[in-house]
Amino acid sequence: MNWIEIGREESRQKYEDYCATGNLGFSKDYDELRKDLVDLFSTALIKIGITEDQISQKNYSYQLDLQFGLKLYTTLNQKYGMNVRLAATDGVWRYLCSCVAPDLVEKRYGKDHPDRIWKKPKRLWLRVLWWYIYLSWQGTEEATEAILRDNSTDEILQLVDRCGRGGYRVGLYRELMKKNGTLDLAERRKNQLFRKMMVLNTARVQAVEPELTSGGNQGYVEALYSYFQE
């Protein structure tokens, strides 16, 4: 795949053109990827059992993020050669969001969400979904879905937005998500446990290297959660 990158201003203009005309301005090289994205989006809606008009209801928006995100992640990686280096390139995601699939982003958020299309790199919708699944990955799509199915959009925000100065600690984050997926859902929601845990982790890693603690990442994660159970 010959990935195209565009800057912030060009991405803004492309999206404004789409809003004005309804036309998608992507290269023919992206025809197959465009078709795949549309199919994956439709398949996710079918799996959840909703229509496009119901996306914003209840927790359906998160379920769409999860189901579409899982397929987006595996398809981009396996079929189109997406990798961590490309996934860290904002221009790649700007092109996808503003040129290839702005209508899908619109169906998820509405038109008045430029942060999800071009404005804020960390909030670009397709980028967020890829990184959410990558940082939660448990070896297979099925195992990853199992630990994520009861989450909400807040978990996505807390996970993806918290990138340290040295980048994401992938092994640690995957262990955190695995642990979070085993906890009682009512307790997690009542106490905003994941949010609190991520705040504590952000503070602790300034002085502690998780992999070097007793039990490595797993032991470190257990200690984090124990802190809120004392």
Among the residues of the chain, which ranges form H helices? Answer: 8-21, 31-48, 60-80, 84-87, 90-95, 102-109, 125-136, 141-148, 153-160, 170-180, 185-191, 193-204, 216-227
Q: C-alpha 186: how far from its chain's center?
A: 23
Residue with tokens 């032991």: 219
* Residue 129 pLDDT: 98
Q: What is the pTM of this model?
A: 0.95
pLDDT category, 230, cuts 50, 70, 90? low
Mean per-residue pLDDT of the chain: 94
Residues 194/158, Cβ–Cβ less than 8 Å: yes
Give the mean pLDDT of 153-157: 94
Share of the chain above pLDDT 90, in %: 82
Of 22-26, 52-56, 187-191, the range with the lowest mean pLDDT is: 187-191
CA 222 – CA 199 distance, rounded (Å): 15
CB 188 within 8 A of CB 180: yes
pLDDT at 226: 87
